[in-house]
Protein backbone atom coordinates (compact mmCIF):
# COMPACT_ATOMS: atom_id res chain seq x y z
CA UNK A 1 0.00 0.00 0.00
CA UNK A 2 2.84 2.37 0.77
CA UNK A 3 4.41 1.89 -2.67
CA UNK A 4 1.04 2.36 -4.36
CA UNK A 5 0.33 5.56 -2.43
CA UNK A 6 3.85 6.84 -3.13
CA UNK A 7 3.27 6.29 -6.87
CA UNK A 8 0.12 8.38 -6.71
CA UNK A 9 1.84 11.17 -4.75
CA UNK A 10 5.61 10.83 -4.35
CA UNK A 11 6.55 11.65 -0.75
CA UNK A 12 9.90 13.24 -1.57
CA UNK A 13 8.99 15.36 -4.61
CA UNK A 14 5.23 15.87 -4.20
CA UNK A 15 4.72 14.62 -7.76
CA UNK A 16 2.75 11.65 -8.96
CA UNK A 17 1.37 9.57 -11.76
CA UNK A 18 -0.99 11.41 -14.11
CA UNK A 19 -2.36 8.65 -16.33
CA UNK A 20 -5.04 6.65 -14.41
CA UNK A 21 -3.97 3.38 -16.07
CA UNK A 22 -0.60 3.76 -14.30
CA UNK A 23 -2.12 3.63 -10.80
CA UNK A 24 -5.47 1.87 -11.19
CA UNK A 25 -5.89 -1.90 -10.95
CA UNK A 26 -8.66 -4.46 -10.65
CA UNK A 27 -9.26 -5.89 -7.16
CA UNK A 28 -10.98 -9.18 -6.36
CA UNK A 29 -12.82 -9.75 -3.07
CA UNK A 30 -14.14 -13.19 -2.15
CA UNK A 31 -16.77 -13.89 0.49
CA UNK A 32 -15.97 -17.18 2.25
CA UNK A 33 -17.99 -19.51 4.42
CA UNK A 34 -16.61 -21.09 7.59
CA UNK A 35 -14.89 -23.81 5.55
CA UNK A 36 -13.14 -21.24 3.30
CA UNK A 37 -15.40 -22.10 0.36
CA UNK A 38 -16.03 -19.09 -1.90
CA UNK A 39 -19.69 -18.07 -1.67
CA UNK A 40 -19.51 -14.99 -3.87
CA UNK A 41 -16.83 -12.90 -5.52
CA UNK A 42 -16.63 -9.30 -6.61
CA UNK A 43 -14.26 -7.61 -9.05
CA UNK A 44 -13.72 -3.91 -8.38
CA UNK A 45 -12.64 -2.36 -11.70
CA UNK A 46 -10.01 0.39 -11.97
CA UNK A 47 -9.52 0.69 -8.22
CA UNK A 48 -6.99 2.79 -6.36
CA UNK A 49 -6.45 3.70 -2.69
CA UNK A 50 -7.93 7.07 -1.81
CA UNK A 51 -6.64 7.12 1.76
CA UNK A 52 -4.33 4.83 3.71
CA UNK A 53 -4.70 4.98 7.48
CA UNK A 54 -1.95 5.08 10.02
CA UNK A 55 -0.20 1.93 11.14
CA UNK A 56 0.15 2.10 14.89
CA UNK A 57 3.54 0.87 16.02
CA UNK A 58 3.06 -1.09 19.20
CA UNK A 59 4.99 -3.65 21.16
CA UNK A 60 2.38 -6.42 20.87
CA UNK A 61 2.66 -10.14 20.56
CA UNK A 62 4.40 -11.42 17.45
CA UNK A 63 1.37 -13.56 16.65
CA UNK A 64 -0.92 -10.56 16.07
CA UNK A 65 -1.49 -9.25 12.55
CA UNK A 66 -0.95 -5.53 11.98
CA UNK A 67 -4.08 -3.89 10.54
CA UNK A 68 -4.85 -0.49 9.05
CA UNK A 69 -7.73 1.12 7.17
CA UNK A 70 -7.78 1.81 3.43
CA UNK A 71 -10.50 3.72 1.59
CA UNK A 72 -10.84 2.65 -2.05
CA UNK A 73 -12.21 4.35 -5.14
CA UNK A 74 -13.26 2.30 -8.16
CA UNK A 75 -15.17 2.73 -11.43
CA UNK A 76 -17.68 -0.09 -10.93
CA UNK A 77 -17.89 -3.62 -9.55
CA UNK A 78 -18.96 -6.94 -11.04
CA UNK A 79 -20.50 -9.52 -8.68
CA UNK A 80 -20.37 -13.23 -9.50
CA UNK A 81 -23.59 -15.03 -10.33
CA UNK A 82 -25.40 -11.95 -11.65
CA UNK A 83 -26.37 -11.64 -15.31
CA UNK A 84 -26.93 -8.17 -16.79
Position 11 scores a pLDDT of: 77
Percent of the chain scored above 90 by pLDDT?
40
Asked if residue 42 belongs to a domain, the reply is: yes
Structural domain of residue 34, as residue ranges? 26-79
Burial pattern 16-49, b for ≥16 Cβ within 10 A else e, equals: eeeeeeebbeeeeeeeeeeeeeeeeeeebeebbe
pTM of the model: 0.71
Asked if residue 7 belongs to a domain, the reply is: no
Question: pLDDT-derived band of residue 59, with 50, 70 and 90 as boundaries?
Answer: confident
The number of domains in the chain is: 1
- Whether residue 76 is predicted with pLDDT greater than 90 in this model: the reply is yes
Asked if residue 48 belongs to a domain, the reply is: yes
Asked if residue 2 belongs to a domain, the reply is: no
Asked if residue 50 belongs to a domain, the reply is: yes
CB neighbours of residue 13 within 10 Å:
7
Amino acid sequence: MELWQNGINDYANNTGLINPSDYQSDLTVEQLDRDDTVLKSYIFRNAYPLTVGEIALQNTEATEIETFEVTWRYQHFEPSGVSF
